[in-house]
Chain A
């Protein structure tokens, strides 16, 4: 056994993983206290999603299938918040439910409550259940439920009753202003899926020929959702934390929209789609959770790159030394 002192790289190769975790905690925590809005080039598929959301006719109802829980709050909460801010600023009604997880309704209800609170504090009108949105809670068996929605949405939701605050009684959901004009799922302004699981696959399989689908999903699900986008089966995608920040960035600057504060410069151009533009979001917050997390995200990736380089260089030098001896 060699009694020479290990080199820096050799020591790095044998670094206790707990030290790496501690460094990761520091790298992800410190940037949370630094307020900065980094410039970004949103992905083309997220631009398509933003464009779709900003061009939904205001008399149409959005179907919102929310299939995420607190375990993916780091990505999906930002998606949900950005989506609700856009819908609420555009006064678009929505129906929300889950087909993925029994815990999902509790989580999306908290997001709706928080966004409403945020609007109240900003002096904006709150979204009211029954008049502006209806919450249909959880439907088990994604395959069966989505099949039912595809063939007859009125039958699929027939058993759901929602409290009408005007009368104080529970009434069938389809009597509400949100769903009264909806006959089929094709009447939806957009069918949004916010998910951390393969429920997006189930929805594409059953609904893509009947309505316009769009997806906000985690980085784990994202790669499998992209072929759907490429084939036109879904109209837009926001993936992971990058997707959250992309959305917030476009909410701030618009899409193909000349910024009057920057001498009419277009902050977010859409190459090849110059005829399609969307305004920024004019009320409420734009930069929020995505902006808060994005710098930490860069620091975490920087740490990963450094660790990979150190590990590989150390391994390479170690093998070289072994061969030499």
Chain B
């Protein structure tokens, strides 16, 4: 029987390995040393080894091997699902990919690549429309207000409106919404003009609009970069939590405090 102290000890060893690896990998911020390289190689080796086992256990075995050889019922040990031996054909097709290492027969490696590319290309028309169709619709936004009764959309909760009045409020475009939509549409068009390379933008208006598009794109990239930086901070904070809270807590558990 495993007692609590053994569990605490195992947990402490596990977390200590993690702490060592964290310090090892972050040590590159000081200087690239053998200490860093050691943990980098451990990390890469573990990831590669794990992926290979997972590939067999969770992909090839259930999705290819079991389909090919069939399955037995757990209790009666009689055939439960039949095997489809035609799946064996996939093996040589997949192995053709390794001919990429042969100078004489490397053209054979193009067979599986061609099949994958063909399957991928066939999906693209539908995928393009599913991806961008709704965005095209959503970009066509009303830029003229339908009412001037209020600049912003009124708050309807607890204001004593009837359902008909609420429906009318929700169907109207208020000036603040129209202004928002206008900013969106102008930004969209300005960003588009940045990508006009087919002719020279000679008029002042088009050149200015093009410059505005460049600015809008740069603001967008800045926001994306800011979001990325925040993501990296979150990862550092988590590592600090791992070291100073999780690991220290496991140490306290081990020492019985």
Give me the interface of A with B, judged by CB distance under 8 Å. 17-18, 21, 24-25, 28-29, 32-33, 71-75, 77, 102-103, 105, 137-140, 143-144, 147, 159-161, 169-170, 201, 204-206, 208-209, 218-220, 222-223, 227, 230-233, 239-242, 256, 271-272, 274-275, 292-293, 296-297, 300-301, 304
C-alpha gap A56/B166 in the complex (Å): 25
Contact of A274 among B47, B134, B157, B244 (CB under 8 A): B157
Verify B59–A29 contact, CB threshold 8 A.
no
Q: How would you classify the secondary structure of chain A's contact residues: helix, strand, loop or mixed?
A: helix
B32 at the interface (CB under 8 A from A): no
B54 at the interface (CB under 8 A from A): yes
List the B side residues contacting A24 at CB < 8 Å: 236
C-alpha gap A223/B230 in the complex (Å): 12
Given A18-B30, A205-B131: A32 and B241 within 8 A (CB)? Answer: yes
List the A side residues contacting B55 at CB < 8 Å: 102, 140
Beyond A230-B138, A256-B157, A274-B155, list 13 extra A-B contacts (CB 8 Å).
Answer: A75-B234, A102-B54, A137-B58, A139-B58, A140-B59, A159-B67, A218-B231, A219-B229, A223-B223, A223-B227, A241-B233, A241-B237, A301-B230
For A17, A170, A231, A242, the residue with the greatest tally of chain B CB atoms inside 10 Å of its CB is A231
Q: Smallest distance from the beta carbon of A311 to chain B beta carbons, Å?
A: 15
C-alpha gap A77/B155 in the complex (Å): 36
Verify B239–A74 contact, CB threshold 8 A.
yes
Q: Smallest distance from the beta carbon of B122 to chain A beta carbons, Å?
A: 10
List the A side residues contacting B166 at CB < 8 Å: 275
Interface string of B118-155 (1 = CB under 8 A from A): 01100100010011001101100000000000000101
C-alpha gap A160/B54 in the complex (Å): 14
Verify A28–B130 contact, CB threshold 8 A.
no
Verify B66–A227 contact, CB threshold 8 A.
no
Verify B235–A74 contact, CB threshold 8 A.
yes
List the A side residues contacting B227 at CB < 8 Å: 219-220, 222-223, 239-240
List the A side residues contacting B58 at CB < 8 Å: 102, 105, 137-139
Instruction: Select from chain A the residue with minimum beta-carbon distance to B66.
Output: A159
List the A side residues contacting B156 at CB < 8 Å: 274-275
Verify B228–A219 contact, CB threshold 8 A.
yes
A-B contact pairs, 23 of them (CB 8 A): A21-B29, A32-B245, A72-B231, A75-B235, A103-B47, A105-B58, A138-B59, A169-B74, A201-B131, A204-B130, A204-B131, A209-B130, A223-B220, A227-B135, A231-B134, A232-B138, A239-B227, A241-B234, A275-B166, A293-B237, A296-B237, A297-B237, A300-B237
Query: Interface size on B (CB < 8 Å)?
Result: 49
Verify B134–A205 contact, CB threshold 8 A.
no
B75 at the interface (CB under 8 A from A): yes
B94 at the interface (CB under 8 A from A): no
Instruction: Select from chain B the residue with minimum beta-carbon distance to A21.
Output: B29
C-alpha gap A32/B75 in the complex (Å): 53
For A147, A256, A300, the residue with the greatest tally of chain B CB atoms inside 10 Å of its CB is A300
B51 at the interface (CB under 8 A from A): yes
Given A208-B130, A220-B227: A29 and B238 within 8 A (CB)? Answer: no
Verify B241–A293 contact, CB threshold 8 A.
yes
List the B side residues contacting A143 at CB < 8 Å: 120, 123
List the B side residues contacting A271 at CB < 8 Å: 155
C-alpha gap A28/B234 in the complex (Å): 9
List the B side residues contacting A206 at CB < 8 Å: 127, 130
Instruction: Select from chain A the residue with minimum beta-carbon distance to B159.
Output: A274
C-alpha gap A131/B47 in the complex (Å): 32
B224 at the interface (CB under 8 A from A): yes
Verify A272–B153 contact, CB threshold 8 A.
yes
List the B side residues contacting A33 at CB < 8 Å: 244
List the B side residues contacting A201 at CB < 8 Å: 131
C-alpha gap A17/B28 in the complex (Å): 12
C-alpha gap A72/B236 in the complex (Å): 10
Contact of A138 among B54, B67, B130 (CB under 8 A): B54
Contact of A75 among B47, B137, B231 (CB under 8 A): B231
C-alpha gap A187/B82 in the complex (Å): 29
List the A side residues contacting B197 at CB < 8 Å: none
B240 at the interface (CB under 8 A from A): yes
C-alpha gap A262/B119 in the complex (Å): 58
Instruction: Select from chain B the residue with minimum beta-carbon distance to A229.
Output: B138
For B157, B230, B235, B239, the residue with the greatest tally of chain A CB atoms inside 10 Å of its CB is B230
B50 at the interface (CB under 8 A from A): yes
C-alpha gap A286/B231 in the complex (Å): 22
Contact of B233 among A239, A292, A300 (CB under 8 A): A300
The 8 closest A-B pairs by CB, nearest first: A74-B238, A219-B231, A102-B54, A274-B157, A231-B138, A169-B74, A74-B234, A241-B234
Q: Smallest distance from the beta carbon of B126 to chain A beta carbons, Å?
A: 9
C-alpha gap A206/B131 in the complex (Å): 8
Q: Smallest distance from the beta carbon of A113 to chain B beta carbons, Å?
A: 13
Verify B135–A231 contact, CB threshold 8 A.
yes
Given A18-B30, A138-B58, A143-B120: A208 and B234 within 8 A (CB)? Answer: no
List the A side residues contacting B220 at CB < 8 Å: 223
Q: Smallest distance from the beta carbon of A172 to chain B beta carbons, Å?
A: 9
C-alpha gap A180/B211 in the complex (Å): 57
C-alpha gap A170/B62 in the complex (Å): 13
Verify A297–B66 contact, CB threshold 8 A.
no
Verify A219–B234 contact, CB threshold 8 A.
yes
